[in-house]
Structure 1
């Protein structure tokens, strides 16, 4: 055993003990303790568990400083995975081996079997009957869980509650993302022709010409649209948080952008403005003004799932497998195919980095690859 008086993270001088199986091991720990003291590094003195700290971190750091949707995702991961798996560990003594073992355990754990933690239901019906679904967490979810723990422990390092971040020492597999699948120019024209009389025709035009996200479209206000100057500013987003629809700020600074309106987009918005005036008059006293460009038929925020449903008939008619979000991919890929500079496409789409534009959304068709190789063949022949 070794002992030294040191300055702790709370600012008080306390007597700290170190232990080892041998004299040399205890002496080495005591030397390290003295070195930290002489370097001015406060010695962590918290006995809080991971569970206690995560609850504090969510309430004092995440909720006040992050977007509501971000807090909702973090809180869900903490409650569902981190607290049951690591909650009883002391945050000061948490080791990388324990974090790695926990990640390996949750990665292999059957998601229907995790209900076995419930004292009232030791084993799900499907597992008891021998029909276990064996559904495991996706690599993306495992990465997200690790990221939440890493962010929480890094905040504890900044608050001098712990010396090192054990989660940073553990690597997780980076999930692979498929490339964006967009419509061809000819199919995009057919889709817009099919939707010409739809009340949300202008929304589909914006999705294909400006690459706006679903939440950006449904959260767009008329005050952000200047039909005289022909510009549009993306500054708000519609999201479902805690069971209710909310207008929130975009996730990143690059998502806020001002875009010029192409002629067909400008014309579609003007027609949509006239159509909305007619809907407002028809609704009468039932109309609830929110200033949205694409509200429901009584002016309230439009349910995002209803937008997905409106896309369903078009998909079935043309035999498409594309999601509504793939209309955004259509805009990005067509712009790149037409020779638009990648950094311009990045700013139009509001991507956070150029590698997102080129790696996730952009993809070359077989015909484009063939033309490129034909040009190379001509150069070398």
Structure 2
């Protein structure tokens, strides 16, 4: 049957070709002054092995037209379009970084975006003779180009997300224990609001969040222990002996909470009872550090306790029980039972 006007055409190319059936549509007319006639301009939709598949492709295109340039646009051309838009708001040094990363992507330059797969991206990164930082920048560039391509319907899948040739470096968290002089400075400034809370953290090993949500029901002033903990099975509801050095501080907070009718051990200095979260604890901690001219992070108190305990020779397994670390030794874990007295004896090694 004859196809409708403006529908497009399907015809077979001469010769022995794998996909001989070409599908194309008129893309306007151009006046030829020499011949004095208008000539049709065509755009090719694709090439197919059979007439049936070619007609189906033409019908699908007419039902849902798409930008035909998307099927042939190359990685290099997408980069040019992306950079023209993206570089408008960037500084010169940042632009140089992206251009440098692009210069190592030559194997992809002439590839059609729709034909690029994960292995092409990974091999390009792997074979680039550059350091890890530049390789990470290449991967970031791939992600941005694919984001642009999906926005403009050039591709429908972000293969850059599946690319794992470059592992992101694990962020290095540096913990600095409080020195003996800094601990003494906290004692010398015990009147500073919440300095006592920092000291209790240093002498118990509780994580900041564990410390901030302690309730007065968790405190046993007869046995001088605190029951608390979060995060892991070994860390939950563990028994922590209260070091003699901080017993008075715990007692004072316990009594203050009782007078305020608060369920929580630590409360606002204004007399308000409120559950602390990590954010509020962190802000209070920062104020103390700034006032005492110290540079520590909230988790440094826990690392200080472990450092003090190891230096004092506290039994390894009892230390793990106190701080909530898993005990792997079967004999210790299953057959050895530690008493409250054992915990107190070991923690008092910290002088």
Q: Compute the TM-score of the two structures, normalised by the length of structure 2.
A: 0.44
Structure 1 length-normalised TM: 0.41
Q: Which of these two proteins has the greater Rg computed from alpha carbons?
A: 2
Q: Which has the higher helix share?
A: 1
